[in-house]
Structure formats: C-alpha cells, structure tokens
C-alpha cells in the first residue's frame, strides 16, 4: 500500500506547500480560539485514528503507531489531575540509531 496521506491522517481540508503544512481546525475538532496545548492534543488524537496497530495490519507502509497508555491520577499544586498517556512508536528498519529523523518515516 501507499504511505498515508495528509488527508487520511488529518482530514480532507489538510494540505501542504513546499514550506508550510495546513491543518483545518474543524478537521481537528477545534474551535476558533485554541491554545497551543489544545492544538497539539488534537493532532495526537486525530493521528491516532489512523496511526494504530489495526491500520498497520492493513497498510505495512504505516511506520508510526500511537497507543493508549495508562490513565492515572497525579497531584500537582494541591490539585488532582487525571493523566492520560499516549505512547508514540516510530518504527524503521534497524540502523542502530536512537535518533528520530522525521524524513525516515
């Protein structure tokens, strides 16, 4: 199969030029005014729909897997927060390098 496209992963309104990537907030489920953390979280949530083990079984060109980790309670500044983990796995043929180089995926 082919490499996943921007539209498959981030929605039909996503695109790119030679220098920019465009992601539509509506495709990410965001409102007009969003914080950097909200945008980052929306990208991870949206990408996890396509970058998962089930999709990888159907398309061996998928080299990034996002898995649900553990949920736990953590305390910070006398408040309790629910911490939700997401594990991102980058897979490529072994070259003994631990560095993540985006162009390899």
pLDDT tens by residue, 50-68: 999 999 999 999 999 999 9
Provide the pLDDT confidence category of residue 75 given band limits of 50, 70 and 90: very high
C-beta of residue 3 within 8 angstroms of C-beta of residue 21: no
What's the chain's average pLDDT?
Answer: 95
Q: What is the pLDDT of residue 27?
A: 97
Residue, of 48 and 1, whose pLDDT is higher:
48
Buried b (16+ CB within 10 A) or exposed e, 12-47: eebeeeeeeeebebebbebeeeeeeeeeebbeeebb
pLDDT of 1 higher than 80: no
pLDDT of residue 35: 96
Per DSSP, the three-state class of 3 is coil
């Amino acid at each position: 199969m082919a490499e996943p496209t921007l539209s498959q992963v981030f929605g039909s309104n996503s695109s790119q030029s030679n220098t920019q990537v465009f992601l539509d907030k509506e495709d990410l489920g965001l409102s007009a005014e969003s914080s950097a953390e909200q945008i980052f979280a929306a990208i991870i949530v949206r990408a996890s729909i396509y970058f998962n083990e089930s999709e990888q079984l159907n398309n061996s060109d998928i080299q990034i897997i996002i898995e649900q980790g553990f949920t736990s309670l953590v305390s910070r500044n006398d408040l309790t927060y629910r911490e939700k983990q997401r594990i991102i796995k980058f897979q490529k043929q072994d070259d003994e390098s631990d560095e993540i180089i985006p162009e390899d995926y």
